[in-house]
Amino acid sequence: MNHIHRNKGYKPEMLADGPVRELITATCDTLTEPLHNIGLRQEVPPELTAALDENIFLFSGFKTHHELVEASRMLKDDKGGFKPFNQFLKDVETINNTYNRNYLNAEYNFATASTQMAVKWKEWEADGDDYDLQYRTAGDDRVREEHAALDGVTLPPSDPFWNHYLPPNGWNCRCTTVQVRKGKYPQSNSEEAIARGQACTAKPKQQIFRFNPGKQEKVFPPKHPYYKCADKDIVSEKISQMQSGPLGDKEIKHIQQVRSTLDKINKEKKWFDHIIIEINTKPTKGNNGETDGAGTISLAPKHATNCVKALENIRMGKECTKAQETSMCTLWHELTHNRHKGSADAGNKNSDTRKYMELANEFVARNTLDQFFEALGGKLKHTELMKDRDNTVYNPWVKKYQKAIDDYGIDQTKVVKDVQEYLFTKDYKTQDIGLAEALMNNSDGKLTFKEANEIVGKCLEK
């Protein structure tokens, strides 16, 4: 509400704004809880989980849109002036109660029943018509009369009755369907059962429930009123963009989600020849992070925490703090190591050979840091980190190498490209050559290889 008040209104383009997206995510998290609880988790095929997740996020987005449209209508007073925020907040409390208490309670109950039916339907589909399905009510005095008329309907899964009348058949409907042995119960007359189903959902507001959650892989009715609005195309586009973005629509809470995100991005970017197997937390004094170069990355606890927070901020369209972006630098440095296509052994940890390799790796990592953030769907705010990152021992080496590029007026982009190519394709034990050649080849004849090599050597001097 504060976001709407500051912007003097709401329009569907604001759905991706951080505060609005938080409301969508909070709604979605509530409604997907039945899908991801322990009891159902092992039963749900991944493809169905993805489809139902997508449907619930879409539903949550449209619900939020309607909620905020109503709230924005209460921004002005009777004289046409904007209300003070406290007054506006008080006035919209009725909308909050309607959408986020009353409606949400009914939607949660519906999501629970609908998800269960969708999961079971996939199991019944696999069995085909070897069994029958039977409609059952809760069997108490709270059962609606029109729903009671369907109690005991017994038909095979292929019968058209189930296309429209698989429960739930209304808000807070407690009906269910079970699989029964063929022949145990007499089969119902299909036409009569369909007529009862039509009567059960005859009213205009009831007709939206004529769908099969399992067949259509949707938790909520495709014809729900939320999907009817003047800006439907814009709302759909904004929600689709949020879902298809690099970080998706799920809140990022732990370090392994960072790994999953990178795996998703890699399918498009083709960064790694192998997958990133694991990103974990490893407390090591004086060490920001490390990697085995074969897909496992360990980060110091504070950097792991900051990376999770950074990705969540990027996902929500918020700016990252400098501390978070600094931690992302560490992650990107280790990821850059994992982009090597051949030998990743640079020998002794304290040798000059290893230091030259780290110089090349850090130089490439910080000069492509903005590309990393862009691939994640964000934008690097603290661009000074591409020139100066003082939380790493490699910083003075890179700054000296950068100074040589500046002093000789060498094209920065070309040097980065050459060092990167050499770093990713050549032996780690020869990276001093790659660093020198990148300076020489792009100096327009100002530097010989011997002179460039001497510059590289001095980068490691204290």
Q: Sign of torsion, CA 120 125 126 128?
A: positive
Q: What pLDDT shows up at residue 341?
A: 81
* Strands of the sheet with 131-136, listed across from one edge: 154-155, 131-136, 176-181
Between these two residues, 359 and 346, which has the higher pLDDT value?
A: 359
Q: What is the mean pLDDT of residues 399-412?
A: 96
117-170 pLDDT per residue, tens: 999 999 999 999 999 999 999 999 999 999 999 999 999 999 999 999 999 999
Q: Percent of the chain having pLDDT more than 90?
A: 80
Least confident of 169-173, 255-259, 281-285, 428-432: 281-285
Q: What is the mean pLDDT of residues 238-260?
A: 86
**CB within 8 Å of 119: residues ≥ 6 apart:** 40, 43, 44, 48, 214
User: What's the pLDDT band for 248 if we cut at 50, 70, 90?
Assistant: confident
**Rounded to whole angstroms, how far apart are CA atoms 403 and 407?**
6
Structure tokens given for 211: 């769908």
Residue type, position 440, single letter: M
For residue 183, what are the CA distances in angstroms to 129, 130, 155, 288, 459? 12, 10, 11, 67, 84
Judged against a pLDDT cut of 60, whether residue 40 lies above it is answered with no
Least confident of 118-122, 214-218, 254-258, 416-420: 254-258
Q: Percent of the chain having pLDDT more than 70?
A: 98
Q: What pLDDT shows up at residue 80?
A: 93
**Rounded to whole angstroms, how far apart are CA atoms 39 and 153?**
27
User: What's the pLDDT band for 39 if we cut at 50, 70, 90?
Assistant: low
Q: What is the mean pLDDT of residues 240-266?
A: 85
Between these two residues, 261 and 214, which has the higher pLDDT value?
A: 214
Between these two residues, 445 and 271, which has the higher pLDDT value?
A: 445
Q: Which of 322, 328, 312, 306 is nearest to 381 (CA)?
A: 322
CA angle 29, 30, 31 (to 5 degrees): 95
Helix, strand, coil tally for the chain in percent (to 5): 60, 5, 35
User: What's the pLDDT band for 41 if we cut at 50, 70, 90?
Assistant: very low
Per-chain mean pLDDT for the chain: 93
Q: Which of 430, 410, 412 is nearest to 422 (CA)?
A: 430
**Rounded to whole angstroms, how far apart are CA atoms 155 and 454?**
84
**CB within 8 Å of 393: residues ≥ 6 apart:** none
CB of 299 closer than 8 Å to CB of 282: yes
- For residue 410, the surrounding DSSP H or E stretch is none
What are residue 311's DSSP bridge partners? none
Q: What pLDDT shows up at residue 110?
A: 97
Q: Where are the alpha helices (DSSP H) in 368-430?
A: 369-375, 395-407, 412-425
**How many C-beta atoms surround the C-beta of residue 27 within 10 A?**
23
Judged against a pLDDT cut of 70, whether residue 43 lies above it is answered with no
Residue type, position 384, single letter: E
Q: What pLDDT shows up at residue 344?
A: 67
Rounded to the nearest 10°, the torsion over CA 461, 399, 362, 344 is: -30
CB of 346 closer than 8 Å to CB of 353: yes
User: What's the pLDDT band for 50 if we cut at 50, 70, 90?
Assistant: confident
Residue 35 DSSP class: H
Q: What pLDDT shows up at residue 38?
A: 46
308-354 pLDDT per residue, tens: 999 999 988 889 999 999 999 999 999 999 998 876 677 787 899 99
Q: State the DSSP string of 178-247.
A: EEEEBTTBPPPPHHHHHHHHHHHT-STTTGGG-S-HHHHT-SS-TT-GGG--TTHHHHHHHHHHHHHSTT
Helix or strand or coil: residue 167? coil
Classify residue 376 as exposed, middle or buried by CB count within 10 Å of its CB (0-12, 13-18, 19+). buried
Residue type, position 14, single letter: M
10-26 pLDDT per residue, tens: 999 999 888 999 999 99
For residue 390, what are the CA distances in angstroms to 300, 393, 395, 397? 16, 8, 6, 11
Q: What pLDDT shows up at residue 306?
A: 97
Task: Sort strands 296-299 and 176-181 into parallel, antiparallel or unpaired.
Answer: unpaired
Rounded to the nearest 10°, the torsion over CA 56, 61, 64, 69 is: -140
